[in-house]
Amino acid sequence: MLIGGRYGCIKESVFMKALEVETIITEDGRLPETLHEAFGKKVKLIVLFTEDEESTVHKQGNLMSYAGQIGAFHHITDPVSFQNELRSEWNRGNA
């Protein structure tokens, strides 16, 4: 069950068991027998694997070229006032 709030949702306490296995997933996609305890159960699966170096290299670019393209701060009309308001909230919290 999710509990909503001003800053998003959190889950109520959920007890989970973690199994960690390092293996090679076969071409047919079968999971190793070491995960048998989880077979037939609803699981959350996170797969971590290395990528080729070429695909992980990021090109250097000008971050300012993205200005105005990301909508996260579109509501801010006066950046200085916005920063001052944030700082005053922080200062009230530390008082």
pLDDT at 95: 55
CA distance 94 to 86: 13
**pLDDT tens series, the chain, 95 aa:** 455 555 556 666 778 889 999 998 888 988 889 999 999 999 888 988 887 766 555 666 777 777 667 777 778 888 899 889 888 887 776 65
pLDDT at 14: 73
- Label residues 59-89 b or e (16+ Cβ within 10 Å = b): eeeeeeeeeeeeeeeeeeeeeeeeeeeeeee
pLDDT at 91: 79
pLDDT at 15: 81
